[in-house]
Amino acid sequence: MREIRVDQIIQKISQMCIDCNYNIGKDIEDALARAETNEISPIGKSIISDLLLNSQIAKDVQMPICQDTGMVVVFVEIGQEVHISGGVLEEAIQQGIRDGYEKGFLRKSVVSDPLLRINSKDNTPGVVYYELVAGDQLKISLAAKGFGSENMSKLKMLKPSDGMEGVENFVLNTVKEAGPNPCPPIVVGVGIGGTVDKAAQIAKKALFRNVDESSPLPHISELENRLLEKINHLGIGPQGLGGVNTALGVNVEIYPTHIAGLPIVVNINCHASRHAVAYL
């Protein structure tokens, strides 16, 4: 049995909150650089250049990439041979978020009640998902999810007969309706299958996969490629001002479902796609 203390978790979560708000991932940086090269719209090319410059400034001076520093979403994979000591894991995660948003001077955007709208003043609680796995490690995947993109998410309970065509049409219509709101070029997460809540969970988890990493399933990889091509033919372009780079990537995850259902959720990330992964 391997012991991990809660103070290690607090420190790691705190640093991850800061890091993902200050630094874009290498896969996103590379994808933006490719987009700048192949963008045919002069305005679009200029916008992508500005996005790259903005991310470089944020990295150099260590300040947030965007004023919306998001609501924290954490996926935790807990090895069966791990023992958490010194406190409660959930409390440690929430404390790490508090510390990170305070130390990093990150905007605190969470309201404690969705109707009364009173700010929690520390950006907690974050949304946390747990999974028990084999081994003696703790894997933490953390995203700072901005709501310009989150608000563009959509769910639909398709009929099984809608099939692949229905899935593609729903994703394309969702991106088309989102237009400039999620700050394109975007990353599109798609969850297909399970139940209504499971489809949403795997759509969110899909956004953690690198944009240059395809699904290992051939039919899903082909779907991702078709969707990316079709989305980039919509003409929305960088920041919605036209061009051929509406999306940097489309990541699709699937899960078994009921014979009578075909749930699908589209969850969109802005161009910064802020997330980080760490192991303890």
Residue 54 within a domain: no
Residue 48 within a domain: no
126 plus 155 within the same structural domain: no
Q: Of the candidates 92, 116, 145, which is a domain's last residue?
A: 145
Residue 166 within a domain: yes
Tell me the per-residue pLDDT of 16-45, one tens digit each, with 9 for 90 and over.
999 999 999 999 999 999 999 999 999 999
Q: What is the pLDDT of residue 250?
A: 98
Q: Of the candidates 88, 120, 145, which is a domain's last residue?
A: 145
Cis peptide before 125 (omega within 30 of 0): yes
Q: Dig out the tokens for 221 from the structure.
A: 């990889």
Separation CA 199–CA 212 (nearest Å)? 22
DSSP tag of 262: E
Q: What is the CA radius of gyration of the chain?
A: 19
Residue 280 within a domain: no
Tell me the per-residue pLDDT of 105-116, one tens digit each, with 9 for 90 and over.
999 999 999 999
Residue 192 within a domain: yes
122: closest CA among 183, 71, 179? 71
82 plus 173 within the same structural domain: no
91 plus 159 within the same structural domain: no
Q: What is the pLDDT of residue 226?
A: 98
Q: What is the pLDDT of residue 109?
A: 97
163 plus 217 within the same structural domain: yes
Q: What is the pLDDT of residue 199?
A: 98
133 plus 163 within the same structural domain: no
| Residue 84, CA distances (Å) to 1, 72, 133, 137, 141 in order | 10, 22, 15, 11, 18
Tell me the per-residue pLDDT of 176-206, one tens digit each, with 9 for 90 and over.
999 999 999 999 999 999 999 999 999 999 9
195 plus 153 within the same structural domain: yes
* Cα distance between the two ends of the chain: 14
Mean pLDDT within 223-240? 98
128 plus 226 within the same structural domain: no
Q: Residues in the chain, how many?
A: 280
Average pLDDT score, the chain: 97
Q: Dig out the tokens for 15 from the structure.
A: 């640093």
* Secondary structure class of 232 (helix, strand, coil): coil
Instruction: Give the position of tokens 């998001």.
Output: 70
CB 256 within 8 A of CB 193: yes
Q: What is the pLDDT of residue 9?
A: 98
Residue 46 within a domain: no
154 plus 246 within the same structural domain: yes
The single-letter code of the amino acid at 279 is Y
Residue ranges making up the domain that contains 141: 2-20+65-145
Q: Of the candidates 109, 126, 145, which is a domain's last residue?
A: 145
CB 64 within 8 A of CB 146: no
Residue 225 within a domain: yes
% of the chain with per-residue pLDDT over 70: 100
177 plus 261 within the same structural domain: yes
DSSP tag of 211: T
**CATH at 12:** 3.30.360
Tell me the per-residue pLDDT of 84-106, one tens digit each, with 9 for 90 and over.
999 999 999 999 999 999 999 99
CB 205 within 8 A of CB 253: yes
16 plus 128 within the same structural domain: yes
**Total structural domains within the chain:** 2
206 plus 171 within the same structural domain: yes
Number of neighbouring beta carbons within 10 Å of residue 194? 20
89 plus 132 within the same structural domain: yes
Tell me the per-residue pLDDT of 266-280, one tens digit each, with 9 for 90 and over.
999 999 999 999 999
Tell me the per-residue pLDDT of 107-164, one tens digit each, with 9 for 90 and over.
999 999 999 999 999 999 999 999 999 999 999 999 999 999 999 999 999 999 999 9
Residue 58 within a domain: no
DSSP tag of 126: P
List, in order, residues 6 or more apart from 142 with CB less than 8 Å away: 13, 16, 17, 20, 72, 73, 74, 75, 275, 276, 277, 278
